[in-house]
Amino acid sequence: MSKGFEKFETKVIHEGYSSPLYRDSLAPPLFQTSTFTFDTAEQGERRFAGEEAGYIYSRLGNPTVTFLEERVAALENGESALAFGSGMAAVSSVLLYLTKSNDHVLCSQGVYGCTFGLLKLMEEKYNIQHDFSSMNSEEELLSCIRDHTTCIYVETPINPTMSLIDLEMVARVAKKKGIPVVVDNTFSSPYLQNPLDFGCDYVVHSATKYIGGHGDVIAGLVVGRSESLAEIRMTTQKDIGGIISPFDAWLLLRGLKTLPIRMDRHCENAERVANFLQQHPLIEDVFYPGDSKSPFYEIMKKQMKKPGGLIAFTVKGTKKTAQKLMNELQLIKIAVSLGDAETLIQHPATMTHAIVPEESRAQMGISDTLLRISVGLESWEDICEDINQALEKLDPALEIMK
């Protein structure tokens, strides 16, 4: 690994790029190979036995993937990282590693819909139970921890309601109980928030989002301690096989170089769009951590560099009203991802969280009129103008849809 750099903006471009394998190439080489040759049969034996370092098979390790893992570990201030073929491959590998039959997982009040589905599957098949908690105080958190709780799983900001969890508080309580804390840091990226710095144990990312940043790759990442991640690599990752391809790792390395610049623009645009939404008479509520009136504003200032590029809001009317607003947009695209250069909007109740039962969605704060917008890199004036022209077409429709 190369000499460590202090500044994030330098790390995303230079960290880890020192192996003789890279030679004199300015861009990281792509090792697009499934397997690696051995000089001798004895060398192959030593590598399989773990007696000699070196590559064997790209499901077990690949130089391009290694480079990505080293760089991301440095960006999250972690010891080690693992790259996966999707964000859910990363989430499932960590949860399977930390649990066994009859264990219990405590989750923040609201998680991504597929994480909810995974938890349901784990309970149905393996009796790994789960509960949701607001985690708004030590007392509330302690009241939800059971004797067989083996993992605390946190999203912050929470998808899609933008609620925040005090990571330092959660980590402090968890350490007293000897329970590892996993944080989904997708909405923030390593640029805005580093959960390990607050005492958490694992960080997961859907690298598809801000880390990739261009909507052209599906990938996931886990960051944590070297010993634990080595075990995950040689068990759940190796045997279940949710690995990343070398080319996708190469795409993430390319995307990472512009992460700070992109995140600054996402955050700047989101602040402008949130201000616009807050002033519009047809918008009922706006959920944005950068709002000084938000109940989560102080937590945001404590653990995030900036509020991020995601906004949730409710429109006056019904589900049909919210869908009509989406359909009238011209610049903004209807899509369920986030973190792309394009501004995207989606309807959580029928899209990302459709798998969540209606009663549970209500407990999470996901109503039929809630929309989530991932603010892109376009001119903020054009984004606001597109929302405004769509809202103008709602006014008469509201009367019909009441």
- Residue 1 pLDDT: 39
CATH class of 8-256: alpha beta
C-alpha–C-alpha distance, residues 371 and 390, integer Å:
14
Region 9-38 average pLDDT: 86
> Could you read off the pLDDT of 77-121 as tens digits, one per residue?
999 999 999 999 999 999 999 999 999 999 999 999 999 999 999
pLDDT beyond 80 at 136? yes
260 contacts: CB under 8 Å, gap ≥ 6: 8, 9, 12, 191
- The tally of CA atoms less than 13 A away on the side-chain side of residue 35 is 3
> Could you read off the pLDDT of 373-386 as tens digits, one per residue?
999 999 999 999 99
pLDDT beyond 60 at 402? no
Among candidate residues 182, 223, 172, the one with its CA nearest the CA of residue 95: 182
Region 6-33 average pLDDT: 84
Question: Could you tell me the residue ranges of all domains in the chain?
Answer: 8-256, 260-401
- Residue 4 pLDDT: 65
pLDDT beyond 70 at 400? no
Is the preceding peptide bond at 29 cis, omega within 30 degrees of 0?
A: no
- Residue 16 pLDDT: 79
Superfamily of domain 260-401, CATH level 4: Aspartate Aminotransferase, domain 1 (3.90.1150.10)
- Residue 338 pLDDT: 97
Note the pTM of the prediction, 2 decimals. 0.94
Among candidate residues 1, 74, 8, 5, the one with its CA nearest the CA of residue 259: 8
* One fold for 8-256 and 260-401: no
- Residue 19 pLDDT: 66
Is the preceding peptide bond at 157 cis, omega within 30 degrees of 0?
A: yes
315: which strand partners?
A: 283
> Could you read off the pLDDT of 27-55 as tens digits, one per residue?
889 999 999 999 999 999 999 999 999 99
pLDDT beyond 70 at 23? no
pLDDT beyond 80 at 130? yes
pLDDT beyond 90 at 399? no
Among candidate residues 64, 111, 55, 57, the one with its CA nearest the CA of residue 83: 64
Structural contact between residues 113 and 354, judged by C-beta atoms closer than 8 angstroms? yes
pLDDT beyond 60 at 401? no
Going by their DSSP bridges, the two strands 220-224 and 202-206 should be labelled as antiparallel
Which pLDDT band holds residue 397 (cuts at 50, 70, 90)?
low
Going by their DSSP bridges, the two strands 283-287 and 344-346 should be labelled as unpaired
Pull the structure tokens for residue 365.
């704060």
> Could you read off the pLDDT of 225-278 as tens digits, one per residue?
999 999 999 999 999 999 999 999 999 999 999 999 999 999 999 999 999 999
Cα–Cα distances in angstroms (integers) from residue 233 to residues 60, 76, 97, 251, in the given order: 8, 19, 10, 21
- Residue 21 pLDDT: 67
Give the DSSP letter of residue 28. Answer: P
290: which strand partners?
A: none
pLDDT beyond 80 at 5? no
> Could you read off the pLDDT of 295-318 as tens digits, one per residue?
999 999 999 999 999 999 999 999
> Could you read off the pLDDT of 156-213 as tens digits, one per residue?
999 999 999 999 999 999 999 999 999 999 999 999 999 999 999 999 999 999 999 9
